[in-house]
A and B are shown apart, each in its own frame.
Chain A
Amino acid sequence: TQLLEQSPQFLSIQEGENLTVYCNSSSVFSSLQWYRQEPGEGPVLLVTVVTGGEVKKLKRLTFQFGDARKDSSLHITAAQPGDTGLYLCALPYGGSQGNLIFGKGTKLSVKP
């Protein structure tokens, strides 16, 4: 059983469209991180959300942490080809060790 479920698994859209991807768990998160990974590269941290109900914005990306801290979403406005990549959510486990459990990711393709 996957601790973190991400949906959709794949998403292909045209440039300029909006999209939302989701990260869900049956467990409560202490915090959640979103990473983006481009083909052949390592993941790059986008944001960490900590407080239930928290909303963080990073240019055209809006991250939300659910009130119950069991889910999170990433909304991209006016997607661009440069947004193409694998979007991964991750949560720390093992107390303060910093080890992360990752979801399988949402593979986004933005076509010009």
Chain B
Amino acid sequence: DTGVSQDPRHKITKRGQNVTFRCDPISEHNRLYWYRQTLGQGPEFLTYFQNEAQLEKSRLLSDRFSAERPKGSFSTLEIQRTEQGDSAMYLCASSIRISATGELFFGEGSRLTVL
């Protein structure tokens, strides 16, 4: 049984470059979430998908950010024209169904450093 998988684990880029992160959720999970975590903070919600539909986006998700889940399986999060303020850990999580208590299974994260 594999958990949530994220790639790459670490990414260093120069300001202005585009980056893309990939998330493979637990196979039977139909919900997929992206969170961002900066130093000293808890994770902050960015967006989530149910199957291939993107159902909610946070105001943190500026127009430089785009997330897709084309076939309802893996998801990508792209950041265009990166800024130093984008440096953070990007966490992906998945869940199997609508749950009243909303437990999530997180991946190990993709750490982005923008120079």
Taking beta carbons and an 8 Å cutoff, which residues of A are in contact with B?
4, 30-31, 33, 35, 40-45, 48, 50, 88, 90, 92, 94, 96-105
Contacts and interface: CB of A to CB of B under 8 A. Distances in A.
Contacts of B103: 33, 45, 48, 98
B107 interface: yes
Contacts, number: 76
Contact of A92 (B91, B102, B105): B102
Given A42-B106, A105-B42, A92 B93 contact: no
A105 B45 CA distance: 15
Nearest 3 Cβ contacts at the A-B interface: A102-B42, A42-B106, A92-B102
Contacts of B42: 4, 88, 90, 102-105
Q: How large is the interface on B (under 10, 10 to 19, 20 to 34, 35 or more residues)?
A: 20 to 34
Contact of B95 (A41, A90, A98, A104): A98
Contacts of B31: 98
Interface of B: 4, 31, 33, 40-45, 48, 55-56, 91, 93, 95, 98-109, 111
16 contacts: A4-B42, A31-B102, A35-B106, A41-B108, A42-B108, A42-B109, A43-B43, A45-B104, A88-B43, A92-B102, A97-B48, A97-B55, A99-B48, A100-B102, A102-B43, A103-B42
